[in-house]
């Protein structure tokens, strides 16, 4: 049974810092992995999708990597801004038509 | 292009009642998935509908049910509400995956959610 873990549960950094959020999964036979952002009381915003055959994806200041053999993915945020403050969730999909299994998220706070 | 919409945004019900939540997917998307989010359990998968058929189901009791219409809109129903059903219910839509649908066809896009409070 796939389990997804995100560490740390919360992170506070000063504005401008580069940071890394971690996601680990127990079953390496994933189809893809998706990173989301959730603002308080809101839905999820898709940030990046990495297929199992890919090693990384980039969008603006965000870069996500995937290492299936070690069961890990990282989300790198460059030059963090207060507007980046949110909860970041990663989710693994087991098959092309499978559902997403979510981690519990990392709550990021970027201080001005 | 309009995003995923969910109605209502907020609901207050009492124990024993039943509730129906609605989700309209992004135009062209044929898959709708439902998730329950609580502070203790996080995001948990309820079920997925694709072309009016339930394709996947999570580990929730039979009180939770859903359906999908020919226009891909989906409804979720919870009967005999319990206090523990209080949660944010999120739906997500995608093209639905499959060999002919492209590599990003199962990328999920979420709606704003329905906040259900059971008193």
Residue in B48, B96, B99 nearest the CB of A99? B48
Residue A94 pLDDT: 82
- Quick check: A107 pLDDT over 50? yes
How many angstroms from the chain centroid is the CA of residue A90?
4
Residue B98 pLDDT: 56
Residue in A89, A96, A99 nearest the CB of B45? A99
**Across all residues in chain A, what is the average pLDDT?**
93
What digits encode the pLDDT tens for the residues B39-69?
989 999 999 999 999 998 999 999 999 999 9
What region does A96 belong to: left with phi over 0, alpha with psi -120 to 50, or beta? alpha
CB contact under 8 A, B4 and A45: no
- Render B15-84 in DSSP notation, one character per residue: TT--EEEEEEPPTT--EEEEEEEETTTEEEEEEEEETTEEEEE-S--TTEEEEE-TTS-EEEEE-S--GG
CA distances from B91 to A10, A15, A87, B70, B115 (A): 25, 33, 18, 17, 12
CB contact under 8 A, A97 and B112: no
Residue in A36, A96, A98 nearest the CB of B98? A96
Q: Which residues of B touch A41 (CB under 8 A)?
A: 88, 115
- Report the gap between the CA of A97 and the closest CA in chain B (Å): 6
Under a CB-based contact definition with an 8 Å cutoff, are residues B68 and B22 in contact?
no
What is the rounded average pLDDT of the residues A14-41? 94
- Report the gap between the CA of B22 and the closest CA in chain A (Å): 15
């Amino acid at each position: 049974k796939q389990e997804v873990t995100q560490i740390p549960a919360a992170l506070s950094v000063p504005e401008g810092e580069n940071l890394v959020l971690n996601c680990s999964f127990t079953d390496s036979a994933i189809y893809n992995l998706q990173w989301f952002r959730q603002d308080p009381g809101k839905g999820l915003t898709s940030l990046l999708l990495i297929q199992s055959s890919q090693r990384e994806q980039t969008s603006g200041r965000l870069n996500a990597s995937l290492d299936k053999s070690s069961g890990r993915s990282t989300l790198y945020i460059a030059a963090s801004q207060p507007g980046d403050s949110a909860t970041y969730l990663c989710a693994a999909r087991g098959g092309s038509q499978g559902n997403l299994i979510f981690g519990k998220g990392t709550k990021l706070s970027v201080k001005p | 292009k309009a995003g995923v919409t969910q109605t209502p945004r907020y609901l207050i019900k009492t124990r024993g009642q039943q509730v129906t939540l609605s989700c309209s997917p992004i135009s062209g998307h044929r898959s709708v998935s439902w998730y329950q989010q609580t502070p203790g359990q996080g995001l948990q998968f309820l079920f997925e509908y694709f072309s009016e058929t339930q394709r996947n189901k999570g580990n929730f009791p039979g009180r939770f049910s859903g359906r999908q219409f020919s226009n891909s809109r989906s409804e979720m129903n919870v009967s005999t509400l319990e206090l523990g059903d209080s949660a944010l219910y999120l739906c997500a839509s995608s093209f639905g995956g499959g060999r002919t649908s492209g590599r990003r066809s199962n990328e999920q896009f979420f709606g704003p959610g329905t906040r259900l409070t059971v008193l």
